A and B are shown apart, each in its own frame.
Chain A
Amino acid sequence: MASFNARITMPAEAKAGEIVEIRVLVRHPMDRGGQVDSEGRVVPRKILNRLTVTYAGEPVFRYDMHTGVSANPFVSFTTRAVETGDLTFEWREDGGATFTRTARLVVT
């Protein structure tokens, strides 16, 4: 079975007010479904449909994904460094499963 991993690339430190770029790459087949399997059943859609990012508790970014997003999707967005804190990344999958990762940003 494929494992879920996420590669989050962002600076560990930033000056207050600076805009930081956050790059996110996740492993997921983003199966759009619709194909018929060997037993004649229609394969259901199974994709990550949402990524929500909070920064020290405040939501700062949300990515709504549909079947037109590639497998193993990459996204990059920006956020202002306001205070030292954790960025929490939460992915939601069709069916309700969620995956979480955290990255710390130190603001000087």
Chain B
Amino acid sequence: MSSPISPACARPEPALSRREVMAAGAASLALAALPASTHAAAPPALAELIARVTEGAVPERARITFDIPQLVENGNSVDVAILVESPMTEADHVRWIHVIAEKNPFPDVARFHLTPRSGRADIRATLRLATSQKVAVVAALSGGGYVMADADIVVTLSACIDGG
């Protein structure tokens, strides 16, 4: 389990406080500054990318319905829908949902921050995927645990190299 001072064990806050906004902002900027390709020859494995956001904890494969097309029409705009089973109460809610695209130049794609006022942990968004790869979503629960889901997707080439 993570150390007592890690955010995973911190007392859950009902709203996005200024400090949490600043801290999370700094963390996500730091993640963005580390492209997969600046590491050793092979980009970090998906497991490592996940461990970075969970601070080492292994998420449970449960509770998440992750909708993403298996065959993507155009990598420029890919629809995703993420639903995490959660009562979204003060005591038990999803704090954030993080999306990782393992082979994108910058694999940390997005993070959605929710609160008990969200009612549901129900997100849709459009992403940009560089190539065929595994896409993972990791959700942080207020109780301190993590859940995840992933999908293998294929990005096809358009018909003509037409220069746009």
Is B125 at the interface (CB under 8 A from chain A)? yes
Measured CA separation A71–B101 after assembly (Å): 17
> Distance in Å from the Cβ of A88 to the closest Cβ of chain B?
13
A55 and B126 contacting across the interface, CB-CB below 8 Å: no
Interface size on A, residues (CB 8 A): 33
Q: Residues of A contacting B126 with CB < 8 Å?
A: 69-70, 73-75
Q: Does A99 contact B (CB under 8 A)?
A: no
Q: Are A69 and B124 in contact (CB-based, < 8 A)?
A: no
Q: How many chain B residues have a CB neighbour from A under 8 Å?
A: 37
Q: Which of A3-11, A36-44, A78-86, A100-108 contacts B (4 or more CB under 8 A)?
A: A78-86
How many angstroms between the C-alpha atoms of A74 and B79 in the bound complex? 9
**Separation of A19 and B117 alpha carbons in the complex (Å):** 9
**Residues of B in contact with A (beta carbons under 8 Å apart):** 15-16, 21, 24-25, 28, 32, 76-79, 99, 101, 104-115, 117-120, 122-129
Q: What 3 A-B pairs have minimum CB-CB distances, sorted nearest first? A: A68-B109, A19-B119, A62-B113
